[in-house]
Amino acid sequence: MDHNYNHHQQQQQQQPYPYSSSSSSSYGYLQQQPPNPNSSSSAAIMYPTPPPPLYYNQQPPSYHNASPSNYPTPPPNYHPPAADAAAAYPFQSSQSPADYFQYYPQPPPPGYQQQQQQYTTASAGGSYPQQPPLPPLEMSNSNYHHYHHQEDEFSSCSSTPLYHFSNQFSSAPASPIYHQQQTTSTSKPPEEESSDSSLSHNTHHHHHLSSQTPYLGQNNSSSSSNQQHHHSLSKKALKVLLLHGNLDIWIYEATNLPNMDMFHKTMGDVFNRLPGKKTRITSDPYVSIAVTSAVIARTYVISNSEDPIWKQHFNVPVAHRAAEVHFLVKDSDVVGSQLIGLVAIPVEQIYSGTRVEGFFPIINNTNGRPSKDGAALRLSIQYHSMDSLSTSLYGVGVGGVPGTYFPLRKGGRVTLYQDAHVPDASLPDFKLDDQDMHYVHGSCWNDIFDAISKARHLIYITGWSVWHKVKLVRNTANPEYTLGDFLKLKSQEGVRVLLLVWDDPTSRNILGYRIDGLMATHDEETRHFFKRSSVQVLLVPRMAGKRHSWIKKQEIGTIYTHHQKTVIVDTDAGYGKRRILAFVGGLDLCDGRYDSPHHPLFRTLQTVHADDFHNPTFTGNLAGCPREPWHDMHSKIDGPAAYDVMTNFEERWLKASKPHGLRKLRASYDDALLRIERVPEILGVNDQPYLDDQDPEAWHVQIFRSIDSNSVKGFPKDPGEATTKNLVCGKNVMIDMSIHTAYVKAIRSAQHFIYIENQYFIGSSFHWGSYKDLGANNLIPMEIALKIARKIRSHERFAVYIVIPMWPEGVPTASATQRILFWQNKTMQMMYQTIHRALVEAGLEGAFSLQDYLNFFCLGNREAAGPHDDVGEQNPALGNTPQGLAQKSRRFMIYVHSKGMIVDDEYVIIGSANINQRSMEGTRDTEIAMGAYQPHHTWAKKLSSPRGQIYGYRMSLWSEHLGVVDDRFTQPESIECVRYVRSLSEANWKQFAATEVSEMRGHLMRYPVEVDQRGKVKSLKGYENFPDVGGQIVGSFLGIQENLTI
């Protein structure tokens, strides 16, 4: 994010993280049809070999006729749930009555032995194969009581997004008595799946709620429910197992829920009733699905129902160690929610791939008794491990990411940018696969300036910050227009110029007196500049929905932002036609962003940065201080996917321009959008693609977002319709969280290496050694660690390079900055400890170090004094302040603001999203990203390392960062490359940290921490604090958990 967190230290409650799923699987896995034997509808999506992209106006092929794809698919023996669940039992068909008593020490329910016999006779075609024994892994107690107070009236869960769902089939599948389905053998589990030592001795007991007897029928009389529940509640220890793969879950219905709303409705609910209409006020139930402390899915809310029917299907990615999967039935209230009760399914029951299905009693959290006589939840759950999912059969990008809002688009061209400006001949030349092809180093802001200058119909800009005074081009060859003057000029030519800018709530414009906000985004200044022009500017606050509580509205409006950065224009398509061109990435059009691969500190202070000094680390006297160099990643999309970027703008503009409050008295902006279908010159998205797919330079591109229905117009209001657009459902909100989907799919598909540059790296808190319930539950760090662990067990090389800023932008000693560093350290340590366990289990602990697989880096620069310096004499008044020390040492970090990932040199993701909860969740900051690959430059196509534009881009980035080019860089996964890059980064750090000032050739430095043999991460010896500016490198925690810094 472009946020200085130090200005926003507000305490917030934990917000669990949602993960999306649908019957079409947002992660591309298990493209199964929701079971309904009576349905006449067509089969669900399945991708043939190789899987084609999902294009608009194209019917997907049938599931039943599909051949193997690169997406994880159900095993051949997978059977969807049947259609009737009146007599459902989730007991394993391989269990004997003795097996039953092992897990259920009470007497078996009536008919159990008869039903068991039914599935072991000829009527079932023979007996089911015996289930192999479960692995002897760690034990843990049920932590069901954790959820009792997890969502109170102040809980941020009230707007937490959850997952995709499906209700396209009219009747819920009925469940057979039991399904024995193994996705992979568990006679010997993957060695990565043994839990860490902290869990291995956690073997205490609890009331036996996890092995709950399923409810046997739909008779809700007290006699039947008493028969069901009146067994002794014994105690039992549960095994902690690693769930890494997907959970296939159906939530069908609940019966006989208690009325939780007698005193919890608002006055409006009571008095806003129509005269003479009798409406019973009762519970508004929904179901949260949780693994450990992380909420992974949730149904939508059904108002005023004690017998709700959801019929929702979830295909949820998991990477969690847990003893149970919890289904928490809750009552939604305006100010939060109440826990009605829970159902806990032991992980060991589903670990073999067996589907468990039936009615289960809903247990009260406080006393271990049923929440109400006859209260039950009907569900099914099946686990598909990574071993059963074909995640990388055809490469990382092939087929795109299914189950997302925008489809994969083919026939385009992509330009990849590093930094805002790359001077000619400043970086080495790289030959690509075709020896006649060379990687072209684009110059981002020059290209944006050129695209705006050639626009004839429209210029649409979104930004966290847009500053009218910024100059995109800074050389004598072109007039040095400011952005504001340039846009005014274009609007006078008849071009439709629209700006969507985040409205910083701390900035104000009162009677002409402007107060710049804490984030210094210039929003009010920019709006005032364009006030009497034909350029239309909307300052858009980040707003919660109408049905959110006042507290939730304040949290969203104060803490979260609109963070997308896009520029959309029309451009020449030849033959008198125009097409849409879009820029997407991490660069805002504002101050502080203009930089080159040289990243000067002092030498440009009186030239290209004379009116553009930016360094929020320093406060007070800034005379003679170094500027903050800025490194970023950006992209240009020329082709069909650019129209999806424009659709995002249009959806946001229509939402933001809708009059509300005092704005109803103002002029409307909702007709400002240009309807391109009425402009004959502009080609449509389905017209002839820009490049033929046979062209070796063609790209396949897909647009992803983190955004919810409070920020766009066009998302369906009916939760039942959201599945048609692959949206996930939150509490009174619909969410597109496909950026997280894309990252997880790409990581799971990686086979050789991953290269990441990101402004933040925080996540998978559910697996930290402490603060597990923080709520930073995105899967990205854990998925990377487990990918490395799997490669170690397979004795295959794999390497991960992660580049982050030395410290978050702002004052490094500030408490918010220190908390971010603390969470970052927790994330690092969790990853290294996971790798350590894998090395030990593979017997390779002495052969390789942890950093032979995973390395964290930062960027910095140091300039020796020279004759062309623009600094002048050192300011003696600064003394030993951070400003004075930085001026004396002539060094400073290069701020990494990138938000990108490269996988196997064949797939790239670039956008505005950071790797933290704010960017990945979908209900916090709004984000946009692109994922792209060249179909002619993949491992599957070449049977060797791809050498297309993505390879050239990574090599260009490495040449900028390291100052050298080496043949070892062509094989990033090799141990030789990893160790060489690390040696260069260590040398660069020593030069940066030395007392003597010297010119730095390379900028990539080891992140200043040490990793011991067991994965503990601590500060580098002798460097507990950052040079010159202070602040603990590993961060510090002051006992305040909040949503701001995660």
Return the amino acid letter for 848: F
The yes-or-no answer on residue 563 being catalytic is yes
**Which tokens belong to 980?**
């060489």
**Which tokens belong to 710?**
């409070």
Stated as kind and residue range, the H or E segment containing 413 is strand 409-418
Return the amino acid letter for 483: L
How does DSSP classify residue 725?
A: G
**Which tokens belong to 684?**
């449509």
The yes-or-no answer on residue 248 being catalytic is no
8 Å CB contact between 646 and 638: no
Nearest to 291 by CA among 247, 252, 251: 247
Residue 932: beta bridge partners? Answer: 701, 908
Distance, CA of 904 to CA of 954 (rounded, Å): 10
256, 407, 442, 971 from 696: Cα distances, Å: 61, 21, 19, 22
Stated as kind and residue range, the H or E segment containing 550 is helix 550-559
Distance, CA of 733 to CA of 545 (rounded, Å): 7
Nearest to 229 by CA among 84, 104, 103: 104
Residue 451 CA, distance from chain mean position: 31
Nearest to 1008 by CA among 840, 835, 837, 825: 825
634: which residues sit within 8 A by CB, 6+ positions away? 416, 417, 420, 444, 583, 584, 585, 586, 587, 910
Cα Rg of the chain, angstroms? 29
Distance, CA of 741 to CA of 685 (rounded, Å): 24
Directed axis angle between helix 780-793 and helix 815-841, to 10°? 20
100, 113, 905 from 117: Cα distances, Å: 14, 6, 55
Distance, CA of 593 to CA of 158 (rounded, Å): 37
Phi, psi of 90 (to 5 degrees): -90, 35
CB burial of 914-923 (b: ≥16 within 10 Å; e: otherwise) equals bbbbbbbbbb
The yes-or-no answer on residue 565 being catalytic is yes
**Which tokens belong to 530?**
């364009």
**Which tokens belong to 828?**
């690092």
8 Å CB contact between 992 and 954: no
**Which tokens belong to 638?**
């020329």
Which residue is catalytic, options 311, 488, 490, 563? 563
Which residue is catalytic, options 373, 612, 904, 905? 904
Which residue is catalytic, options 229, 471, 897, 936? 897
- Cis upstream peptide for 110 (omega within 30°): no
Q: What is the 3-state secondary structure (H, E, C) of 109-158?
A: CCCHHHHHHHCCCHHHCCCCCCCCCCCCCCEECCCHHHHCCCCCCCCHHH
Stated as kind and residue range, the H or E segment containing 992 is helix 975-993
Distance, CA of 234 to CA of 250 (rounded, Å): 28
Which residue is catalytic, options 264, 421, 565, 700? 565
Nearest to 328 by CA among 283, 362, 282: 362
Which residue is catalytic, options 899, 936, 937, 941? 899
**Which tokens belong to 463?**
């930004």
The yes-or-no answer on residue 904 being catalytic is yes
Which residue is catalytic, options 261, 570, 595, 612? 570
Residue 715: beta bridge partners? Answer: none
Q: What is the 3-state secondary structure (H, E, C) of 155-191?
A: CHHHHCCCECCCCCCCCCCCCCCCECCCCCCCCCCCH
Stated as kind and residue range, the H or E segment containing 826 is helix 815-841
Name the residues annotated as catalytic.
Answer: 563, 565, 570, 897, 899, 904
